[in-house]
Amino acid sequence: MTQARSPHGGRAFLYGRQWRATRHGQRRPRDGPDKALAPAGWSEARAPSIIGRVNPATPETAPPSAAAATEIDALLAGELPLRRDRLLEYLHRLHDRFATLRPGHLRLLAERLRLAETEVYEVASFYHHFHFATDDRAAVPGLTVRVCDSLACAMAGGEALAERLATTLGGEVRLQRVPCVGRCDAAPVAVVGTRQIDAADPATVAAAIASGDHVAPLPEEAVDLAGYRAGGGYATLAALVAGTLTPATVLERLDASGLRGLGGAGFPAVRKWRIVRDQPAPRLVAVNIDEGEPGTFKDRHYLERDPHRFLEGLLIACHVVGAEAAYLYLRDEYAGARALLVRELDALRADPPVPLPELELRRGAGAYVCGEESAMLESLEGRRGMPRLRPPYVAEVGLFGRPTLVHNLETLHWVRDAVEQPAERFAPPGRRGRQGLRTFSVSGRVARPGVYRAPAGISARELVDEFCGGMAAGHDLYGYLPGGASGGILPAALADLPLDFDVLQAHGCFIGSAAVIVLSQHDRARDAALNAMRFFAHESCGQCTPCRVGTAKAAQLMVAPRWDRALLGELATAMADASICGLGQAAPNPLRSVLDHFADEVDG
């Protein structure tokens, strides 16, 4: 056993080839699923070698072949000189080409990057979307079918779909059950290669496999660069760069607009900008497009329709805070959006409205925790996406140790409007004394799931009735998750509360990224909470015990018909109080909600 420094300064124990390097940093037998992460009835379905991220690969000990060296050099030829922070990009190149990561390629990649082989392997094995071959010649499935089993898809039959496909797909297809793929309004969803199948069933999945077309299509509704400019796009940025609009004025207007971070935390945008602007140069901007919170798909909605609006917001931000480069971290599940963004970034670079900072698009690899800003920065640096201890905050010491402004896509999407429009127009009076508009992703038992822009302070009942066409036929409102898997669960009796920041905490919930998942009398809150807890157990990065062990243990306990209130309460307190990041701190919310609001389901 050897020891190495973790990205956080702690000790990471590396066990070489006898033990799989894991995202949990634990010793784990190479051939077995992780029972601690595998609650009854769940893990066995997720963990076997062809399903789920747990990988039994045993790197071979023979030296890589000359052919492997030729292959890797050809693949990386356009990437020279290699950069350690782009490790995930190189892994993606290998995986896209060979449908797996082979030990010879990983060894050669480590050599080329002058990294320990274990370091490359521990990074690769942290991310769900990478699969591993046991040796350089092993036959592997050429196609992966992913089936979402997060809450909205599970409610719509995703579990049954995955079970059916497990018995019908041939060995040439790898089946993987995955957490939310960001299409909850089209549940249940399967993804064949990168091509999404909405409202999927075994027949449509089989037809998609047989079609041979396994690539996500380009979003059809997107406004391109010419269309965006025709609508006045990039004029505000140009005015800023020309000096006719000053950074001080932009900050004043941003302040007046009340624009807040819309990735979940709700921190006022202008305060972030001022903090970063006041830090010593060089500074950076990082865009978080890793929206992995189950039930959330609004960033994808805006990206697929109007990519230049957030790009202009990003460029305005870069200019105002004095950032020399911006990194865009896009979740791997959004393959069609990625193709669109590549196209539009190329168009922008070819015909820039102003001199551009360096813009680098990066690809996530299937890790929810990378939506946490410091974990995303770790991933951008080519490491495992493990959240950092704070302080220091990323605005002071962020990406590559530089002051970094981090925003999610939707926040930047609204920057142009916030700067151009009078505050009273950008943020008109909402409801119940609230100000402005909010974007909601709505899924579950409603007639029309989708993305809706509604007044701040609207209630869940009003959102369903006025924007979603009411409840789906045959369904009555029973409860709802106001903020995705981590925001807790509220009963129908509390469906008239305003859905806004700083309101729901009194009820043990929060709005987060405004992902509203609606439950009906055909659902049980305890099932929703169990689904959420299993999700957190699956996604925990594992660096702190309360989260790593607590989520898995809670998921096991929550299977019991009658819940052990005292024990679950202790676990919830430990997770909330002693976890490093928001994942572990919020993981108990759905569990506590059931104990507080749906006691009849678990006290029987």
Distance CA 36, CA 42 (A): 12
Compute the least distance from the CB of residue 575 to ligand SF4, in Å: 8
Based on CB atoms, which residue is closest to ligand SF4, 295 or 387?
387
Compute the least distance from the CB of residue 600 to ligand SF4, in Å: 31
| Residue 22 touching ligand SF4 (CB under 6 A) | no
User: Which residues in the 358-387 window bind ligand SF4 by CB under 6 A?
Assistant: 369, 387
Based on CB atoms, which residue is closest to ligand SF4, 412 or 547?
547
> Count of residues binding ligand SF4 (CB under 6 A)?
14
Distance CA 420, CA 425 (A): 10
| Residue 543 touching ligand SF4 (CB under 6 A) | yes
Q: Which residue is nearest to ligand SF4 (CB)?
A: 584
Distance CA 50, CA 131 (A): 9
Assigned token pair, 290: 């890793």
The amino acid occupying position 440 is F
Compute the least distance from the CB of residue 576 to ligand SF4, in Å: 10
Q: Return the range that interacts with ligand SF4 (CB under 6 A); candidates 187-195, 218-226, 472-480, 540-548.
A: 540-548
Q: Are 105 and 71 a contacting pair, CB within 8 Å? A: yes
Q: Are 241 and 230 a contacting pair, CB within 8 Å? A: no
| Residue 152: closest CA among 129, 182, 176, 128 | 182
| Residue 328 touching ligand SF4 (CB under 6 A) | no
Helix (H, G, I), strand (E, B) or coil at 502: coil
Compute the least distance from the CB of residue 463 to ligand SF4, in Å: 30
Please state the φ and ψ torsions of residue 152, each to the nearest 5 degrees. Answer: -60, -40
For residue 175, with 0-12 CB atoms within 10 Å meaning exposed, 13-18 middle and 19 or more buried, which class applies?
A: buried
| Residue 214: closest CA among 303, 148, 139, 145 | 145
Distance CA 447, CA 451 (A): 13
| Residue 508 touching ligand SF4 (CB under 6 A) | no
Compute the least distance from the CB of residue 387 to ligand SF4, in Å: 4
The amino acid occupying position 471 is M
| Residue 182: closest CA among 166, 173, 194 | 194
Assigned token pair, 567: 């024990």
Q: Are 183 and 196 a contacting pair, CB within 8 Å? A: yes
Helices (H) and strands (E) in the chain, counts: 26, 15
Compute the least distance from the CB of residue 389 to ligand SF4, in Å: 9
| Residue 38 touching ligand SF4 (CB under 6 A) | no
Single residue of 374, 540, 556, 589 touching ligand SF4 by CB under 6 A: 540
Based on CB atoms, which residue is closest to ligand SF4, 443 or 540?
540
Distance CA 583, CA 293 (A): 10
Helix (H, G, I), strand (E, B) or coil at 49: coil
Compute the least distance from the CB of residue 583 to ligand SF4, in Å: 4
Single residue of 52, 294, 398, 542 touching ligand SF4 by CB under 6 A: 542
Based on CB atoms, which residue is closest to ligand SF4, 397 or 495?
397
Compute the least distance from the CB of residue 582 to ligand SF4, in Å: 7
| Residue 544 touching ligand SF4 (CB under 6 A) | yes
Based on CB atoms, which residue is closest to ligand SF4, 14 or 369?
369
In this structure, the strands spanning 477-485 and 404-408 are unpaired
| Residue 581 touching ligand SF4 (CB under 6 A) | yes
| Residue 547 touching ligand SF4 (CB under 6 A) | yes
| Residue 394 touching ligand SF4 (CB under 6 A) | no
Return contacts of 157-164, CB within 8 angstroms, 24+ apart.
157/188, 157/201, 158/187, 158/188, 158/189, 161/188, 161/190, 161/200, 161/201, 161/202, 161/205, 162/45, 163/45, 164/202
| Residue 101: closest CA among 91, 116, 110, 112 | 91
Based on CB atoms, which residue is closest to ligand SF4, 325 or 576?
576
Compute the least distance from the CB of residue 43 to ligand SF4, in Å: 18
| Residue 583 touching ligand SF4 (CB under 6 A) | yes
Structure-derived torsion over alpha carbons of residues 471, 474, 479, 482, reported in degrees to the nearest 10: -30
Neighbours of 406 (CB within 10 A): 25
Based on CB atoms, which residue is closest to ligand SF4, 464 or 547?
547
| Residue 579 touching ligand SF4 (CB under 6 A) | yes
| Residue 548 touching ligand SF4 (CB under 6 A) | yes
Distance CA 545, CA 520 (A): 35
- Sheet strand arrangement including 195-197: 173-178, 143-148, 190-192, 195-197
| Residue 584 touching ligand SF4 (CB under 6 A) | yes
Phi/psi zone of residue 366: left (φ > 0), alpha (ψ -120 to 50 degrees), beta? left
Compute the least distance from the CB of residue 542 to ligand SF4, in Å: 5
Compute the least distance from the CB of residue 249 to ligand SF4, in Å: 39
| Residue 236 touching ligand SF4 (CB under 6 A) | no
Q: Return the range that interacts with ligand SF4 (CB under 6 A); candidates 257-265, 399-407, 515-523, 541-549.
A: 541-549
Compute the least distance from the CB of residue 365 to ligand SF4, in Å: 16
Based on CB atoms, which residue is closest to ligand SF4, 439 or 579?
579
| Residue 418 touching ligand SF4 (CB under 6 A) | no
Based on CB atoms, which residue is closest to ligand SF4, 47 or 583?
583
| Residue 445 touching ligand SF4 (CB under 6 A) | no
Compute the least distance from the CB of residue 191 to ligand SF4, in Å: 24
Q: Are 279 and 320 a contacting pair, CB within 8 Å? A: no
User: Which residues in the 137-176 window bind ligand SF4 by CB under 6 A?
Assistant: none
Compute the least distance from the CB of residue 518 to ligand SF4, in Å: 27
Q: Return the range that interacts with ligand SF4 (CB under 6 A); candidates 59-67, 114-122, 553-561, 573-581.
A: 573-581
| Residue 541 touching ligand SF4 (CB under 6 A) | yes
| Residue 580 touching ligand SF4 (CB under 6 A) | yes
| Residue 179 touching ligand SF4 (CB under 6 A) | no
Compute the least distance from the CB of residue 513 to ligand SF4, in Å: 17
Residue 157 is classified by DSSP as T
Residues that bind ligand SF4 (CB under 6 A): 369, 387, 540-544, 547-548, 579-581, 583-584
